[in-house]
Structure 1
Amino acid sequence: MTENNREDGFIEYLQIKTVQPTPDYASCTAYLQRQALDAGFEFRAIDIILNSHTDVVPVFEASWTHPPFGAHRDMKIVGQAYLEAMRQLKGAVRRTVHAVFVPDEEIGGHDGMAKFVESAEFRQLNAGFALDEGMANPNEALRVFYGERAPCWIRFVARGNTGHGSQFIEDTAAEKLLPVIEHMMTFRSEQLQVFRRPRADGSPSRWATASVGFDIRMTPTLDYLRFRRSMEQLAAEHSVEIEFVQFWDDNTMTDTSAESGFWVAFERVLEARQVPFAREIFPAATDSRYLRRAGVPALGVTPLVNAPILLHDHNEYVTEKQFVDAIGFYTDVVSALANA
């Protein structure tokens, strides 16, 4: 494939509107199948997984300088760079490399990677290692994510006395929530996370129920089940109900020591390319958590350095040079992993 053709392919991929909540997965699937056929790839492989997701978050076009689907703005660089690297490596690797394009990552991956890792097709892959998306870095170091903060969405619901707004009603729903909120704010401060303080809805003397929600991203060094029990105890102590809207119970991290042959192969590529890097915990949740729980070590890497962090932002973009550089990066990395 010529340089112009590969860039045209990237542009075509960007233009497919896989935006939530109504992504055009049919057109996306047709494009990916055509790419695989053109390159002579098989649709089923084993050993190494190159994972990326095809959906994107909603956009507000009025806030964009250029049309968001005009092929100038997006983060599909990872998936397309995988394809171009595989074209160059066809027949030159010992292991089979499987490019996986999953839906619905932006809304939790429950109907995407979560179901895929439970399928017979996944079990047949015999996957031993995976690459997934990472994050840009305004500095020169490549960010390599070996774990991530797991989602824990909690809703506390209090029920209390009600009455006319002119009266001082005791034991109200909102009053019950106040110590819960204070506890959560203390925990948040301890975790050095700065967010806006949530407030209970409604007047303390008018409403019979009040609720407050918290979006918590649990670091993998935390005992998730113990933390859940502490939240349940907090609710019981203050006579409020608790609902775990979303909760993740696995904190598996990828081995980045000399004991891991795949990590050693990956690190040697960075050293050969003279790329400084930083091992990090991803600040949010990605599809890597499903792979790690399924027993497949995964690293989250997006080769965008000296680049602003624009994911989910207005005017998100990648340059042509960044795309070309990403192809070279993944060609070297995939070659090393697939021949390790």
Structure 2
Amino acid sequence: MTAPSPLETEALEFIRALIRIDSVNTGDAATIGDGETRAALFVKERLEEVGYRVDLVEPQPGRASVVARLEGSDPDAGALVVHAHLDVVPVEEADWTHPPFGAEIHDGILYGRGAVDMKNYAGTILAIARAFRRDGVVPRRDLIFAFFADEEAGGVWGARWIVRHRPELFAGATEAISEVGGFSVPLADDRRAYLVATAEKGVTWATLTARGHAAHGSRPTADNAVVRLARAVAAVGAHRFPVVRTPALDRFLRVFEEHRGLRVSGADSELDEQLAELGFVSSLVGASARNTVSPTVLAAGGKTNVIPAEASARLDIRVLPGADAALRDELAAVVGEGVDISWGHAVPAIEAPLDAPLIDVLQGAIAAEDPGALVVPYLLPASTDNKHLAQLGIRGYGFVPLRVPADFDVFGEFHAADERIPVDALHFSTRVTEQILRRA
């Protein structure tokens, strides 16, 4: 095995140092400490060491982000935002076999909260930013290195706040790279695909409300709000929205048909079964193939012997690009009469071109390290800070390159106990990312 380069060594050092900073984001201001700011200061100090002018943005105490720019040689080329988030989701330490903030390495595997989501990329781009500055590398386009707070709770005090209040930090930017993608998926003949998220589903929240007459529990009523709501929730849970062959899904299926032997018929009802041939990636792609609605919170009554006058359920809704109106109509038909739907929080879906020159850059950088590999678009069923940058017209791509064993489910490590990643995958990530930023 080849010894890691100085750049790979520094990137791993920074990844481990960031994991050791407890920057858990509970989503509750009363229980969030100063971990994000401590992580941001760590990044800021190391960028300033090599001469960057750094903007530290802290709209709330403890909720800091960092942005720095490396000027390119072509002032007419749109800047590229390279971003990671510094916060992580909470942990239940009893579920971990290694300390979640220990950044320990065992048998070539790095363990820790953020090892995949996403202090790995934060440490990697920090090391590359420093190396470019030290070595006098002048990329073709400006590179904007951004390290955001609060991604895990919607970016309210991170990317969203900066986009709304400090948009000048992203002046001239046209594209962005961040999570979720870049991890390898097996193809035939020991070759690999590396998924790039070219689109993300939109996020919508809604509330179902059923109303009836309050009554004593000993006298059942025909208009019991709990019963009516339960029927609607069950109908939503059982409903399967139709498959939509978005451009990203269509490209993904065609590539995997040709290079993995995936058998895809025209029947929507069979797609999930056919995708199951792909193993762990099937659930990720399956969720991207249709709109989804998940009942998540139920509320009704407060006393066992009282039939309540009202019952409600909250829904988490993930919407394909351009499908908002159709989804609302279909959901109303599924819920039926007698239950009201109120619409709340909404973040629209985003889409970036499948055939942008940046995709060719990703392909070239991957192929240089993994000959025969293919970069394959897909639609991410979740959300990233790319959605906030999209408000400035910045087209976002999810691509954190990681070459992993065929049975290693990178996406399954997000928010998991014993979150982990092979160290050699991190070295690979550093090499490929460095080439992407040189070529972009």
TM-score, length-normalised on structure 2?
A: 0.68
Which amino acid in structure 2 is aligned with residue 206 of structure 1? I
> Could you say what secondary structure the match of 1:128 adopts?
strand
Structure 2 residue matching 1:256: 3-state secondary structure: coil
Distance 1:209 1:54 in 2: 41
1:279 alignment counterpart: 377
> Are residues 141 and 37 of structure 1, via their aligned partners in 2, closer, same or farther at CA, if it must alter by over 3 Å?
same
Counterparts of 1:205 and 1:190, CA distance in 2: 40
Matched, 1:218 2:316: no
- How far apart in 1 are the matches of 2:146 and 2:307? 53
Q: Distance in 2 between matches of 1:68 and 1:301?
A: 25
Please say if residues 48 and 129 of structure 1, whose CA atoms lie closer than 8 Å, have aligned partners that are also in contact. Answer: yes
Instruction: Please say which of residues 237-246 and 271-280 is displaced more in the overlay.
Output: 237-246
- Give 1:268's aligned amino acid: G
Structure 1 counterpart of 2:46 = 35
Q: How does 1:226-245 map to 2 (within 5 A)?
A: 226-228=326-328, 231=331, 238-245=337-344
After superposing the two structures, state which structure 1 stretch, 145-154 or 115-124, moved more.
Answer: 115-124
1:13 is the counterpart of 2:18: yes
Greater mean deviation of Cα atoms: 301-310 or 13-22: 301-310
User: Is 2:123 the partner of 1:88?
Assistant: no
Q: Specify the SS of the correspondent of 2:216.
A: coil
Q: Which residue of 1 aligns with 2:155?
A: 109
Distance 1:65 1:278, change over 3 A: same
Identity %: 23
Where structure 1 has 5 or more consecutive residues not aligned to the other structure, the ranges are: none
The CA deviation at 1:110 is 2.2
SS across alignment from 1:117: helix
Structure 2: tracts of 5 or more residues without a match = 1-5, 27-31, 55-67, 72-78, 104-110, 187-191, 244-271, 273-286
Q: Secondary structure at the match of 1:277?
A: strand
Shift of 1:321: 1.8
Corresponding letter in the other structure for 1:243: S
| Residue of structure 1 aligned with 2:429, choices 326, 331, 337 | 326
Normalized against structure 1, the TM-score is what? 0.86
User: Cα offset for 1:156?
Assistant: 0.8
1:116 deviates by 1.6
Q: Residue by residue, what CA displacement relative to the aligned partner does 1:114-147 show, whole Å, maximum 9, x if unpaired?
A: 1222234446521121101114455332110011
| Per-residue deviation, residues 75-117 of structure 1 (Å, max 9, x unmatched) | 3111111122223333321222111011111111122211222
Task: Output the amino acid matched with 2:49.
Answer: D
- Label 1:197 to 1:288 Cα distance change in 2 as closer, same or farther (>3 A): closer
Q: Which amino acid aligns with 1:57?
A: V
The CA distance in 1 between the partners of 2:165 and 2:305, in whole Å, is 49
Residue 3 of structure 2 corresponds to none
The answer to whether the 8 A contact 1:180-1:234 is kept is yes
Structure 2 distance, partners of 1:15, 1:158, is 47
Distance 1:311 1:11 in 2: 17
Query: Retained in 2: the 8 A contact 1:158–1:210?
Result: yes
Q: Which gives a bigger RCO, structure 1 or 2 (Cα 8 Å, sep 6+)?
A: 1
Question: Any conservation in 2 of the 1:86–1:331 contact (CA below 8 Å)?
Answer: no
Moved more, 74-83 or 267-276: 267-276
User: Which amino acid in the other structure matches residue 295 of structure 1?
Assistant: G
Alpha-carbon distance in 2 for matches of 1:251, 1:26 = 30
Change (3 A) 1:8 1:270: closer
**Cα distance change on mapping 1:124 and 1:205 into 2, 3 Å:** closer
Contact 2:386 2:397 in 1 (8 A): yes
1:177/1:200 contact within 8 Å kept = no
* Deviations, residues 11-56 of structure 1 (Å, cap 9, x unaligned): 2111111101215122112101111012323324271110111100
